[in-house]
Chain A
Amino acid sequence: MARTHVTTVVNGDETEFLTEDSTSLLNALRDEVGLTGAKEGCGTGDCGACSVMVDDKVTCACLVFAPEVDGSTILTVEGLADSGELHPLQQCFLEGAALQCGICTPGFLISAKALLDRNPDPTETEIRYALAGNLCRCTGYDKIIRAVQEAAREMRGQ
């Protein structure tokens, strides 16, 4: 079958790739674009390990068909750092040991960024709800919540 040509902006760079129509955005990012930060946990939208932002909305890349994003802007975990400097969320996850095996971390970082973009000063409950679509089997979540709180404080300049 003819492959479909998709033009997107990924992490600020215009990016083109060819894909089968049935391929997920997740697999296109990993296999065609070479960005392996987003991970496949479940493949059914339950675990959030593949979370990316499509046109500023956090979503599970495993539930998106790759041709859908033609003309869209995508942010993956690889686009969080700025000129080699880690994003405050990344720095706080590192310093707060908010990860162990790391498989879920790219998804948590993107979901947390989506939250802080719309709510710079979330309560713990708001953070827990915003991250409910991201599963972590290692940390028990508390360190992740604290890292997001710390990053939010830093980003507010406090």
Chain B
Amino acid sequence: MKYVAPSSVEEATSLLSTSPSAQVFAGATDVVPQLRAGRPAPEVLVDLKKIEELVSVANDGDKWTVGAATPTANLTEDEAFSEEFPGLAEAAGLIGSDQIQNRSSLGGNLCNGSPAADSVPAMVVNGARAVVAGPNGTRVLDVAEVVTGPGQLALEADEFIVEFEIDRIPARTGDAYLRMIPRTEMDIAVVGAGARVTLAEDGSIEQAALALAAVAPTCVRVPDAEAALVGKTANDEILSAVAAAASEACDPIDDKRGTVAYRRQVAGVLAKRAVLIAIERAEQRNGTN
């Protein structure tokens, strides 16, 4: 296995096009355990962290751009970002220990293709886009389109994500992410729920997004819950409909972390709670940012 650390996106894409068995990595927090578990080693390991734009957090006034290999610690320590997207910052901050946070990245969390990836529902509800580089230049995919199944991506072998774009959060909008694990740190989501809500001036819900982790082969949106919220003011009846829609959207597995029935039930509970937090945050952000 040969290690290379290109210093530009072009250098990296050309390496990937010419090396049939090359794999990109950022923090290697998933790659190393997979190699140690017996996954065949690539001939070339391409370290993306030495490419400047892959390790940066920037705001150009209209949108945030987060380099795909940026350590999640950099994101959670960015006060302006965390204040604007507390749900996404919390989701990114839930991935592993401090040791992991200094290595793990949004790009890695997404491209590992785990259904339980914490940052993915939080990116999806915020409408995050992935800027993908390949031999023919770049293309933009919605984050929701990137993972097609467990470990399966809509990227070609010679493509990789350069950065994520997230539009500045509108007024009266809040996001939230909650996950259930059997302990408070260092475990993988049994269920994760990301929500984002935009309120109209009269306080009713203008837009809503809800996405779940760890309950289906990929992160799933819950359009029925979103429809139940839009145009309404949240009350017990509507929140029950949100919970029911979330449970219904699940297609979970039974494993040591939880049964199908348990995951369905918890998905409903977390969906409801995440929506309530998002509403509370939207109410606090009454002006423009």
B29 touches which one: A21, A63, A114, A129 (CB < 8 A)? A63
Distance to closest chain B CB from A25 (angstroms): 11
In the complex, the answer to whether A58 meets B99 with C-beta atoms within 8 Å is: yes
Number of A-B pairs, beta carbon distance below 8 Å = 77
A22-B41, A63-B28 are known contacts. Are A48 and B3 too (CB-CB below 8 A)?
A: no
Residue from B27, B71, B99, B103 within 8 A of A48 (CB atoms) = B99
Interface residues of A in 128-146 (CB under 8 A from B): 129-130, 132-134
- Write the chain A residue with the least CB distance to B28: A63
Please tell me if B98 contacts chain A, counting CB pairs below 8 Å.
Answer: yes
Q: Which residues of B contact A45 (CB under 8 A)?
A: 29, 32-33, 96, 99-100
**Once the chains are docked, how many angstroms separate the CA of A65 from the CA of B184?**
29
Pick from B2, B27, B99, B186: contact of A21, CB below 8 A.
Answer: B2
Q: Chain A contact residues (Cβ within 8 angstroms of B): what range?
A: 20 to 34
Q: Indicate if A24 sits at the interface (CB-CB under 8 A).
A: yes
The reply to whether B102 and A57 contact each other, CB–CB distance below 8 Å, is: yes
Binary contact readout B1-18 vs A (1 if CB under 8 angstroms, 0 otherwise): 111010000000000000
Chain B contacts to A: CB under 8 angstroms: 1-3, 5, 27-29, 32-33, 36, 41, 45, 47, 49, 71, 73, 96-100, 102-103, 184-186
Q: Could you jot down 24 A-B contacts, CB within 8 Å? A: A1-B2, A21-B2, A22-B1, A22-B41, A24-B32, A44-B33, A44-B36, A45-B32, A46-B186, A57-B73, A57-B102, A58-B102, A60-B99, A62-B32, A63-B28, A63-B100, A67-B3, A111-B99, A114-B98, A130-B98, A132-B98, A133-B96, A133-B99, A133-B185
15 new A-B contacts at CB < 8 Å, known A22-B45, A58-B102, A63-B99: A1-B2, A21-B1, A44-B33, A44-B36, A46-B186, A58-B99, A59-B99, A60-B99, A65-B3, A65-B45, A68-B49, A114-B98, A115-B98, A133-B98, A133-B185
